[in-house]
């Protein structure tokens, strides 16, 4: 979770692998990971909430780029960390462009006060912040205006992150629990009803490395019978709410557990 008050442009390249893990296996996998890595100091005892509003064209250009597996594709989102609920207009959020170039994931982001982030992405107006990278802010505005982007889907989940140590510096492994979304009420402070977009008995494990994925992580996945998945939380949300036909990559949600409980807004 990025520290509050860091408004400079943050950019990095990395390799990512994603796995779907039955919740019943998470404890055992966690024990092996914890023996080699340390919990992220920003996470607290139970991780933290991650809430994102994704922007796309009327024809879902970014969605189809992902489904079709284009070698260059990207997406724009505003992301809030922590629980949903009331927050001041100047609460910090991340404005992010995430793109894929061949096998490498590139992400650039700046923190902005929420009111300015919405003025930029929803209002499509030029903004300035004394501590934000103006070049990146202008790039976001150009993208929103040129492609006529609009808020399209929202996702939320509880993230449990681990950081690499010693020879594995730069390695990050996260468990994303109770993944849900909604197709309206895109205010990141609104505690509106959402639904599971991934079966709540499944956890998304992401392995992220700056240069190479350590062999022990792929060996761990093999021993637990896990296979790399082409899962996108944004695409899951689009398909769950019927914005596009379900693709071959869609992970069915549990019909008997489709609605989260009220406490989910705080996880």
Per-residue pLDDT reduced to its tens digit, 172-212? 999 999 999 999 999 999 988 999 999 999 999 999 998 88
CB 20 within 8 A of CB 218: no
What token pair was written down for 70?
Answer: 């284009």
Q: Does domain 10-257 have CATH number 1.10.3720.10?
A: no
Domain layout of the chain by residue ranges: 10-257
**Residue entry with tokens 């929103």:** 144
Assess contact for 137 and 11: CB atoms under 8 A. no
Residue 224, token pair as written in the block: 């637990």
Q: Is the pLDDT of residue 106 over 70?
A: yes
Point out the least confidently predicted range of 148-162, 174-188, 249-263.
249-263
pTM score, two decimals?
0.92
């Amino acid at each position: 979770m990025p520290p509050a008050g860091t408004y400079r442009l943050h950019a990095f390249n990395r390799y990512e692998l994603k796995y779907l893990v039955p919740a019943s296996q998470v404890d055992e996998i966690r024990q092996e990971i914890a023996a080699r890595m340390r919990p992220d100091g920003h996470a607290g005892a139970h991780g933290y909430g991650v809430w994102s509003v994704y922007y796309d064209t009327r024809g879902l250009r970014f969605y189809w780029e992902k489904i079709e597996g284009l070698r260059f594709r990207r997406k724009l989102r505003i992301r809030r960390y922590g629980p949903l609920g009331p927050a001041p207009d100047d609460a910090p959020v991340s404005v992010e462009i995430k793109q894929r170039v061949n096998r490498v994931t590139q992400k650039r982001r700046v923190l902005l006060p929420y009111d300015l982030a919405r003025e930029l992405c929803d209002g499509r107006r030029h903004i300035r912040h004394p501590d934000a990278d103006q070049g990146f802010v202008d790039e976001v505005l150009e993208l929103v205006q040129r492609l006529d982007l609009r808020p399209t889907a929202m996702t939320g989940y509880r993230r449990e992150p681990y950081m690499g140590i010693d020879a594995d510096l730069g390695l990050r492994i996260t468990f994303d629990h109770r993944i849900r979304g909604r197709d309206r009420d895109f205010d990141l402070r609104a505690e509106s009803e959402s639904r599971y977009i991934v079966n709540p008995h499944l956890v998304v494990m992401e392995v992220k490395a700056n240069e190479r994925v350590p062999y022990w992580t792929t060996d761990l996945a093999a021993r637990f019978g896990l296979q790399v998945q082409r899962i996108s939380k944004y695409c899951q949300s689009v398909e769950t709410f019927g914005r596009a036909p379900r693709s071959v990559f869609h992970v069915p949600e549990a019909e008997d557990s489709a609605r989260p409980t009220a406490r989910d807004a705080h996880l």
